[in-house]
A and B are shown apart, each in its own frame.
Chain A
Amino acid sequence: MDRIPILKLGSALLVTIQVDMHDRLAKALEDDITAKIMTTGAKGVLIDISGLDIVDSFMGRMLDTIASVGRMLDATTVVVGMRPPVAITLVELGLTLVGVKTALNVERGMALIGISVDDFEEVDRHDGG
């Protein structure tokens, strides 16, 4: 079975979901992320879902579980890039994802996590900004 790659970015993990995931793939991703939080001691997890054109209750629960497990392991999870029609549909579905932090894009997500902002400041300085 294919797996979705998890990148390490400083003390954060970055996951970019670009394909429509079937349930087993989503479950495998959930397991992989929680395992990787433990092995890397990551302080934040960014999940970029800008490539997803729907999120249903199964995927919603997956995001919620990752956020809950992450919280217990002292890692903050931020879901970034949710498309507006997806957000509207989730609310109507009845899924509010109250335990999940969201951000418009990866950079804002990084800022929300707070810990890898250093990396960005580094880049800014090099850019002369």
Chain B
Amino acid sequence: MKRSIAVFIVLLGFPLAMSAIDNLFYVSFASRVIIYAIAATSLNLVLGYGGMISFGHAAFVGAGAYAASICIAEGVASAWLGWPAAIAASALAAWLIGAVSLRTRGVYFIMITLAFAQMAFYLVNSMKAYGGDEGLPLPQRAELGLGLDLGNEVVFYYVVLFFLALSLYGLHRVMQSRFGRVVIAIRENEARAEAIGLPVYRYQLACFVIAGAVAGLAGALLASHGKYVNPNVLHWVQSGTLMIMVILGGVGQLWGGAIGAFVLLGLEHVISDYPLPWLAAVAPNYPQHANLGVGLVMLAVVLFAPHGIAGLLSRRRGA
């Protein structure tokens, strides 16, 4: 808890420091990382805490991103309408996809969630009215009112940071609740959970829908952030990226999704924007192969840190 607060104090100070050196690029970049942190945290609820290996989480980010973008494109710029619409759309998508997928187990579950997400990907590709495969540029970000201009990078940063804090606190609370205990119990021993009287399917579906709703909010924020949405937010590579974030950061660890988002996006950025002269001398095109670097880090984490980076950090504290 103390650590979480310390991290948030640093995060609160970050834009001030960046403004002081007049570097708003990094404020905007940090907003993007935080939005991904929210999305990865929501996946961690399903994947880490719930033990459901969903390979289609990008569908819910995408549902939210498109719902929010369509609102703005249709002239409804208020975040108070657009974001709840995004949450509702992604929750509905999660309910539909979950209701079918959760009747399967193991590899079938992985494949069916992937298949649904790809269907959603092709669906938005065919929505010609909203840009089809070229995507939909937005005239502006959502409007929050309250005297807060989301067009301002610093304001936007604080708003997404607020939602990350809310997501993490919510996840922490939910996991202490009756519902959270049941979700973990199902992950640990599904047959026994049912045999002590727990309707496993309903709890898993509820968990899936909650995670989908939060992912939808992240999608809405993502669309506003870039003032643009395109079908790639639903592409299976995005689902895979979110999974990598969770695995890197720590499966079933409160901060796992956030740490994974920070490390993965940070790594990608560093590899592609800060060329190492000595490495470039050997392999001139290496920044285009940033994925290789990410893959190596991933391999190291999986081999040496089964609870991800969050697990490493908390073990060191224990020692």
Tell whether A pairs with B: no
Interface residues of A (CB under 8 A from B): none
Interface residues of B (CB under 8 A from A): none
